[in-house]
Structure 1
């Protein structure tokens, strides 16, 4: 309790003014002022410490972000691994299915079917497709053969255009593929396919140009054997022989 210096009345010292005369409680005012100043000083000290706290919090968030990033990378790696494993298994099954289908076509002698089926298969450059891509290569040359009617052949003979007998170049290319397979000792076990294409080529040359198997082999021997480097020489020799045979036939 305090006594008002203005009216002498007694009142609670926590009151700002005298309830009787309204005089100021100077002691209270001084205390309020001191409290206010102390509060300002306290807030000032807090603001001075704020950069350290902010820095501390910043480092904490950086650490948290770093940990989150590591976890995210780990999760992504796990997902990639799982997807890759699944993809590998799926690819393996697809490849096995393709190989089974291709071998089935080979066993049935459907070489045209192999050529067509490979068009639907991706990544045929894999070594386990070599057997079938080799056969498809021979089949494609066979498919390139054009129909040479009598008028076309007569034009070739009259104009002495032996090099226009392009089918002979395809036949030689097929025989060259067969020879390469034989030189490799049929490492893909494609003897049946090679035998088929060789017989087809000999029959074709006999039927269309009256050139026998022995004559073909003679041209090959004169060139020093059938290989990639000698293909053109053998082709030209057979084209000249073919045009001579056609001339004799037309006389």
Structure 2
């Protein structure tokens, strides 16, 4: 059980909302979102992997029911086509639905260029000052826009450092909670380890163009992995083994990492 940050009531650790005041429980909401996304991905992959030989055998065994066989085959083709189109354009579809639900539209070319002229100098100034918190907060506000025009900051030359810095900050925040003796929960350790290993894994697949960006990201990863080794009592070989076990289609399966933390929860200083 954890304490609701709004009303102080005791609620389930992974409850999406407080049943008393309705406030969102960030731990529970994030857990449900990740669970739903991975379940959807697994379901779609299972549909997309229907063996063609099984389809042929089914049609042949029912050849005297020509009409039904054709209907079944046509339905399967339509399903596979729908799965392919969804996987190919799911990002655009989801974004379009999001824009519709939030009454937001994408900026046109002229609006986007004007927005960049007004805001990129601000991002550049923060970058030169090393104020990455302000950059992250600004971009999170853009991502969380709930109305009007939606702009993109991905044309900013240093935008690709943000996912790494975001993960670094989350791990450092948990580290601070531990050092200050504040309440910590198992799910926080599960999420932090998953984010940290994903950060380390992604760096192997992606290299920064700018030397300064490369140095920044390397530094954040180094400090984050030091936090992982100290907090989870893991060595380099154990970290590599866990990454190998969790690797799935060029990403890390959070279920494997969450299970690992559950099985080794005696290593982490959980207070709940």
Q: TM-score range by the shorter chain?
A: 0.3 to 0.5
TM-score by length of 2: 0.42
Higher radius of gyration, 1 or 2: 1
